[in-house]
Amino acid sequence: MTHEVRHERHHRRFVVTVGAEEAFLAYELRVDGVLVLEHTFTPLSLRGRGIAREVVRAALEYARNAGLSVDPQCWYAARFIARHPEYQDLVTDSDR
């Protein structure tokens, strides 16, 4: 199932809302053009549905389209990138 992922720039996060619950990936955009993937959160009631994967993928696609590199500080985002070689070129040199 694919969910609508919203980019809430003012809150610096990518979000999926299901009912009253929100799953998100929080980030920081540094002035040097690096999107720091800080934290992925999925409520217990939404886990196992691939929602974290969707918000991470949305953030990575945003980075690619905006010409940004990424610094995956979040363990989930780092593991996702390690398992998906099509996104490994986005990782900053200092994080490889």
Q: What is the mean pLDDT of residues 48-72?
A: 97
Model confidence pLDDT, tens digit, residues 49-58: 999 999 999 9
> Which DSSP category does 31 fall into?
T
Q: List CB contacts of 15: < 8 A, sequence separation 6 or more.
A: 5, 6, 7, 8, 22, 23, 24, 55
pTM: 0.93
Q: Which CATH code fits 6-95? A: 3.40.630.30
